[in-house]
Structure 1
């Protein structure tokens, strides 16, 4: 029986694709990759004769139609290769529903999302003890409306780490909304363009007040992750609150606390 796999290609660097994804690509009979976001290098493990198609000019109906067509052969392995992780801004359910109706088996392979790749590229942590323990993945309202209660001005009131997708052209609104939420113009911001792409990655450090102009000067207007967090720059702080997990005076099931002399 044929099966369609929705595979996360990761943020850009082909070496950040999972081993499971690589093995599936190697035995795939057909691969439909999101060429506007996924490098063709992600298909490098495909076997001779594998049908490889770029979907960047296709509509949703054309994409699902192609996947269904390639699934007519018994035991075919068909892959929809998507950027990052299929379940995050990947239109996964929109594509799965027509395949369900067609009686086609589905599988999903997770991938590294750009928020993680961006934090890694900038050598930043998204969480820090006693400062922020929460990470919000979101986007700024543009042509697509946000659900009630999920505006950036509302989410920003948590003052935790914010990873903003699909919003690089809306930096003016990012500033306005975060100022409304109580952030300050000197709040640190990191923007990473094409995180992990070997030849294209750019990392821009700025503040809420400066980041828009810095990105304009760098020519960054697409495929960028915006990170706003009270933990940004902690690498260079003289003191931070450290994790209790590795504290010599903290017991857990693998280690007993070392008692200090009074």
Structure 2
């Protein structure tokens, strides 16, 4: 059995309990070394085989899984954050299916969730935004034309931009061109939940310069939207005048 496990955003204690137990039991661990905190490998047993996929090809990764399976060994494929977000694990799962190898997935805490915790903010504030867009800018890998930043910006929703910290200034200009105000609050969160975490805040007009001055060029998330501000409506969930299934509202 191959277990795809979300390692969480960085802090070794932010892996799920189930994920930790799988690491402790694994005979073979293939981890995304460029992003996964190596401290997580402290959970593995001494005799476990460890492979760093940062320098491996898809074929090499699958070959390790196939060899482990043929030898009756249990494999953990350790992905950063949650593997469903920019994890590139679909292609691995499809290959395993072709080989007839069983697998499952243990979700993890994504970096965009850790970033919200570090910022001490809520992405879905009543009266501000009820939509969260997770996206990335094109780099060496393109994005669909209909998902260009300018097209997404027209919604003025909460936006989290992955894999683009080296282009923060360019991203900000494109978001403004697409419909966000220049004074829309923005933040760059570097290595959320890690010991060397760094947070830069500002507006779309100056966040690029601030990120550059802070030396942030990679391993960071760009957060944009009025959820970073202080104006919002109170939730109906706890409104004493609002009736729902578990509580009767009171009359004025």
8 Å contact kept, 2:3–2:104: yes
State which of 110, 114, 117 in structure 1 corresponds to 2:111.
Answer: 114
Deviations 1:102-143 (A, max 9, x none): 111011111111111001101111111121100010001222
C-alpha distance in 1 between matches for 2:146 and 2:30: 36
Which residue in 1 is equivalent to 2:186?
A: 189
Distance in 1 (alpha carbons) for counterparts of 2:207 and 2:127:
27
Equivalence for 1:13: 11
Matches within 5 A, 1:104-143: 104-143=101-140
**Higher helix fraction (1 or 2):** 2
Which sections of structure 2, spanning at least 5 residues, go unmatched?
Answer: none
CA distance in 2, matches of 1:215, 1:251: 45
What is the root-mean-square deviation in Å for CA atoms of aligned residues?
1.2
Give the TM-score, by structure 1 length. Answer: 0.93
How far off its partner does 1:148 sit? 3.2
Equivalent residue, structure 2, for 1:102: 99
Report the equivalent of 1:216: 212
Alpha-carbon shift at residue 173 of structure 1 (Å): 2.3
C-alpha distance in 2 between matches for 1:17 and 1:233? 30
Match of residue 197, structure 2, among 190, 196, 201: 201
1:233 Cα deviation from its structure 2 partner: 2.7
Following TM superposition, by how much is the alpha carbon of 1:44 offset from its aligned partner in structure 2, in angstroms?
Answer: 1.6
In structure 2, the partner of 1:246 is: 238
| TM-score, with length taken from structure 2 | 0.96
* 1:37 counterpart residue number: 35
> Following the alignment from structure 2 to structure 1, what is the Cα–Cα distance between the partners of residues 143 and 38?
32
Aligned with 2:170: secondary structure? Answer: helix
Q: How do residues 72-91 of structure 1 correspond to structure 2 at under 5 angstroms?
A: 72-74=70-72, 76-91=73-88
Query: Is the 1:124–1:233 contact (alpha carbons within 8 Å) kept by the matching residues of 2?
Result: no
Residue in structure 2 matched with residue 46 of structure 1 by the alignment: 44
Kept in 1: contact 2:130–2:157 (CA 8 A): yes
Displacement over 6 Å in runs of 4+: none
- Indicate if the aligned counterparts of 2:168 and 2:211 stay in contact, CA closer than 8 A: no
Alignment size in residue pairs: 252
2:146 corresponding residue in structure 1: 149
Aligned equivalents of 2:123, 2:164: Cα separation in 1? 19
Matches of 2:190 and 2:225, distance apart in 1: 18
Deviations 1:203-242 (A, max 9, x none): 11011121111111111111000000111132xx5xx310
Structure 1 unaligned segments of length 5 or more: list them: none
Relative to structure 2, which stretch is displaced further, 47-56 or 162-171?
47-56
